[in-house]
Amino acid sequence: MLGRTAASLFWMSRFQERAQNSAKLLEVAYRTDMMPSNRSKDAGDWRFALIASGSEFGYSEKIGELTPRGVINYMVFDRDNPSSVRVCLENARNNGRAVRTGITAELWESLNTTYLEFSDVNPLSITQDKLPEFLSWISQRSHLFRGALLNTLLRDDGYYFSQLGNFVERADNTARILDTQYWVLLPDNDVIGDGSLERQQWSGILRALSGLRSYRFAYPDAKLKAANIAEFLILRKEMPRSLAYCCDWIDDTADDLAQFYGERLPSLDMAAANWTAMRATTIEDVYRRGLHDFLLDFISKNNSFAMQLSEDYNFA
C-alpha cells in the first residue's frame, strides 16, 4: 500500500473520531450548565470543553470572552479551529475521497452524506435549546461511520491503518479529558456528599467518555468514587474508551499489520511495549507515580507511536 493511501485511511478515522469527541465534550458542558446546582454561571464547564479538545488557546486568541455561544460556534463551525466538528468532518471526507476506490460504498456514503448534511446547517439555527439534538445527530453519524467500517471493510492493511487511527485518537482524547481535571480524580476526593461539586465533575468526565451507565455495571455496589473512576477509565479493558482498551486494540492491530506485511517495524514494537506496560499497571502504581505525570507520559508515548507509524509506513 502506498504511504499516502495508508495516511488517508489513518486520518480518515482519526478525524471522524475527533468530531464525535468534540460533540461529546459540548454535550457535557451544556448538560452541566443547565443543572440547577450550577447557578453561578462562571462558564467553567465550557472552558473544560475547550481545554480538553485543545482549543483553548485558539479560542482566546480569536474570540477572547468565554461565552456558551462563542464556544459552541468555535468548537462546531469555526474553520480556523482544527478540532472543530466542521473541520474534522471535512478532513475525514477529503481523506476518504482520496482513497475512494479502496473503501466500500457504505463507508463512503456515511462520510459524504454526513458532510453534505452538516454543510447545509445554518450556525445561527443551532440555538442552545437545539444544541443537544444536533450534537446527538453528530454522534449518531459517527456511529454510522464506525458501523460501516467494521461491517463492510475488508480485513487487510487498509482496515488496520483505519483502526490504528481510530484508537490513537480515542486514547489521546481519553487521556486529555482525564488530565484536564486530574485533581478531582485523586483519592483524597472520595469522602464527599452526593450534592458536591466533585460528584458533578465526576459525572461530567464519565459522560464525556460515554461511561456513566457502564460505570454502574462495572461497580454495581459503589457510588461514584475518584479511584474507581480513574481505574475504570485507565485500566479496565472492558470499557471501550479506557486507555487499556485502546492500547490493547492498537497492539492487536499492530500484530495483524506485522503479519500482513511479514515484518515488524519499530512502531509495532512500540505498540507492544505500551500495552505490556499498561497491562502490568495497577491503579496504586498510577497514584504512586502521580496521576498527572502518568497521563502526560501516556499522551507523549501515544503521540510518539503515531509519529513512528507515520515514518515507518511513509505517510505522505
Instruction: Give the C-alpha separation, 127 to 124, whole Å.
Output: 7
Whole-model pTM?
0.94
pLDDT of the residue at 199: 80
CA angle in degrees (0–180, nearest 5) for 110-12-244: 105
Cα 246 to Cα 27, 79, 234, 242, 275: the distances in Å are: 23, 29, 10, 6, 9
Burial class (CB in 10 A: 0-12, 13-18, 19+), 63: middle
pLDDT at 167 over 60: yes
3-class DSSP state for residue 35? coil
Instruction: Give the C-alpha separation, 234 to 228, whole Å.
Output: 10
Write down the mean pLDDT value for the chain: 93
Contact 166, 240 (CB under 8 A): no
Instruction: Give the C-alpha separation, 82 to 60, whole Å.
Output: 15
Angle between helices 44-52 and 68-76 (to 10 degrees): 20
pLDDT of the residue at 193: 47
How far does Cα 25 stand from its chain's mean position?
9
Instruction: Give the C-alpha separation, 22 to 240, whole Å.
Output: 17
pLDDT at 113 over 70: yes
Question: Using alpha carbons only, how large is the chain's radius of gyration in Å?
Answer: 19
User: Mean per-residue pLDDT for 92-112?
Assistant: 96
Instruction: Give the C-alpha separation, 24 to 208, whole Å.
Output: 5
pLDDT at 35 over 80: no
User: Mean per-residue pLDDT for 87-97?
Assistant: 98
Contact 110, 151 (CB under 8 A): no
Contact 194, 202 (CB under 8 A): no
pLDDT at 192 over 60: no
The enclosing H or E element of 296 equals helix 291-312
